[in-house]
Amino acid sequence: MTMERRVSIFRKEHFNAAHRLFVPGWTDEQNFATFGKCSNPHYHGHNYDLVVKVTGEPDARTGYVINLSDLSAIIQQQVLAKFDHKNLNLDTKEFATLNPTAENIVYVIYEILRQQIDPKFDLSVRLYETDRNFVEYPG
Amino acid sequence: MVFLTRIEHFNAAHKLFNPSWSREKNEEVFGPCANENWHGHNYELYVTIKGEPDKETGFLYDVKKLSGIIKEQVTEKLDHKNLNVEVDFLRGKMCSTENLAIGIWNELSAHLPASVKMHSVKLYETPRIFVEYFGQ
């Protein structure tokens, strides 16, 4: 009898980006009341840390759930190439109309990665906007 | 001699872009940091002062006052701001971490009491990149 042993493996990546939180139909006063200094029209920015968690049964031959260099390459090509050193509001199609809150960013990254990672694996994405503020989307 | 450090932080947008150069030259020298639409960082700021503790208080300097001066003179001007556009003490300067550290030193030294001797400004742009300035 074989016992299923599911293991989670994590890869951490990072990117630096500028953004601004605002609702386009609102006045500056409404935006500042809701988003505070994050609504500065001249933008501000963060060092984002991204933690991608893949859960599944290790392959019987390789012992790997997923090859970490493959996972890293997927994150770099599909996520970091889009967002690193970018203005999320101005330079990305994903946030051209979607407010780039940490919540929305983690959701977008999850959806991008979900297309790339075998459906037999569970996926969860955690995004640190600062050391003290982070969000997580387990799908 | 005792060294006392206060850590503060701020988040800001910037770009590395020399306006007297072409876009191509800026991209060649500064790479993705030259993105005209800005990018950003979480900066961590370490301000270190030095001296002998006061005999009556045991303090080098009241660290709450030091924190207040750093916030008032530096981080409130930088936090959630665009460094190239909105910061008076960086106007006309390249917004490198080096120049930012020097600018912070100059702002603080102008506002700290003469009895407080600054030792260094250490500024992290990312957890892996930081500069130190000792005022010389």
pLDDT of A3 strictly over 90? no
Q: What pLDDT was estimated at residue A4?
A: 75
* From B9, B39, B72, B80, the catalytic residue: B80
pLDDT per residue as tens digits for the range A67-106:
999 999 999 999 999 999 999 999 999 999 999 999 999 9
Predicted confidence at residue A2, as pLDDT, reads: 55
Confidence at residue A1, expressed as pLDDT on a 0 to 100 scale = 46
Does A130 sit within 8 Å of B40, measured CB to CB?
no
d(CA B91, CA B82): 11
Q: Is this prediction's ipTM beyond 0.90? A: no
Helices B63-70 & B97-111, crossing angle to 10 degrees? 120
User: For B62-107, what is each residue's pLDDT tens digit?
Assistant: 999 999 999 999 999 999 999 999 999 999 999 999 999 999 999 9
Burial-class residue B42 by CB neighbours within 10 Å (0-12, 13-18, 19+).
buried
CATH architecture, domain defined by A7-137: 2-Layer Sandwich (3.30)
| 0.90 surpassed by pTM | no
Question: Is B14 an active-site residue?
Answer: no
pLDDT computed for residue A50 by the predictor: 98
What is the three-class DSSP state of A111?
A: helix
Q: What is the pLDDT of residues B21-64, one digit of tens each?
A: 999 999 999 999 999 999 999 999 999 999 999 998 899 999 99
Nearest neighbour of A45 by CB, restricted to B13, B85, B127: B13
Which residue from A107, A75, A61 is spatially nearest to A9, judged by alpha carbons? Answer: A75
* Burial of A134 per CB tally in 10 Å (0-12, 13-18, 19+): middle
In whole angstroms, give the CA distance from residue A88 to residue A90: 6
Domain spans, chain A: 7-137
The percent of residues in chain B predicted with pLDDT above 90, rounded, is: 96
- Over residues A115-134, the pLDDT tens digits come to 999 999 999 999 999 999 99
pLDDT digit string, tens, across residues A11-53 = 999 999 999 999 999 999 999 999 999 999 999 999 999 999 9
Residue of A19, A43, A76 to mutate, testing the B interface (most B Cβ within 10 Å of its Cβ) = A43
